[in-house]
Amino acid sequence: MFFTIRNASTLLGLAGCVLFSGFAAAQTPQAPAPIYTGTLGGGFALTSGNTDTKNFNLAFALVRDPKTRDVLKVDASYLRGSQNDVLSLDRSSVRVRNEHIVSNRLFLYGEMDYLRDEFKDIRYLLAPGGGLGYNMIKTDTASFSISGGAGGVWEKNSGLSVKSSGSVSVGESLSRKLSSTATITQSVGTLWKTNDFGDSLTNFAIGLTSSLTSRLELKVEFLDSYKNKPPNAAIKKNDTAFVTAFVVKF
């Protein structure tokens, strides 16, 4: 009898330990999602021979999402290139945007856009505005949103005074995971001046990102910037760039 009771006590003790460890594991809280996430990327290319070229690009993105109704997004980029030591590309842009979530699909936004483009003779272009957006697709593997709004625009060109106007804008943004390591993205946005709807600026981008490690990605992107009314007839309306960059996530 003593032997049986002792073994029963041992079994009960082991069962209690297993149950307690399982309960403790279930009660261990998961690490909270980070409020800030972002990426920092850059690329550099050199060619020599009949033509010497130098090109580099920098890009930065930051998202602040405290898991409330407001999400802050910051995007910035800088492109610079030269051919035979003659500058051929010099463009920088910044967008700061706050989205206020109304429902799972609908959101309001306010934003500020800045652009400087040496070869479009845009010393600076400032475009604050706000409007309404709608998430047509929003899943773990794909997203597609459209937005439209109004605001103002101030543009400075060489030798000319600052031109100001009201503005209207529309845009769309698409992201689709092709696999666990590859994602394709695409976006387009157009800004019109209300005092001259023939004067518009359209930016288009399409890119493919491939994960190399949990923190490092390789991104290939095609960019197209179209200004319908350049400051003078000698400036081409369309500029394109093909960008390759390594991107670090944080």
Rounded CA-CA distance 126/194 in Å is: 15
Q: Which residue has the higher pLDDT, 4 or 179?
A: 179
Q: Where are the domains of the chain?
A: 1-30, 33-249
pLDDT at 32: 79
| Contact of 81 with 57, CB cutoff 8 Å | no
Query: Is the pLDDT score of 241 beyond 50?
Result: yes
182-193/196-211 β-pairing: antiparallel
The residue type found at 239 is D
| Contact of 250 with 39, CB cutoff 8 Å | yes
Q: Which residue has the higher pLDDT, 192 or 22?
A: 192
Query: Is the pLDDT score of 180 beyond 80?
Result: yes
User: Mean per-residue pLDDT for 195-224?
Assistant: 96
In this structure, the chain runs to a length of: 250
Mean pLDDT over all residues of the chain?
Answer: 89
| Contact of 181 with 211, CB cutoff 8 Å | yes
Rounded CA-CA distance 225/240 in Å is: 6
User: Mean per-residue pLDDT for 237-246?
Assistant: 93
User: Mean per-residue pLDDT for 123-150?
Assistant: 97
DSSP label of 31: P
pLDDT at 28: 52
Q: Which residue has the higher pLDDT, 88 or 60?
A: 60
One DSSP character per residue, 168-226 reads EEEEEEEEEESSSSEEEEEEEEEEEETTEEEEEEEEEEEEEEEESSSSEEEEEEEEEEE
Query: Is the pLDDT score of 21 beyond 90?
Result: no
Superfamily assignment of 33-249 in CATH? Answer: monomeric porin ompg (2.40.160.40)
Query: Is the pLDDT score of 231 beyond 80?
Result: yes
Confidence of residue 221 (pLDDT cuts 50, 70, 90): very high
Among the ranges given (35-39, 47-51, 149-153, 210-214), the one the predictor scored with the smallest mean pLDDT: 47-51
The distance of Cα 158 from the centroid of its chain, to the nearest Å, equals: 30
pLDDT at 27: 52
Query: Is the pLDDT score of 50 beyond 90?
Result: no
Six-digit token string for 113: 């856009």
Six-digit token string for 50: 């009949």
Rounded percentage of the chain residues whose pLDDT exceeds 90:
74
Confidence (pTM): 0.84
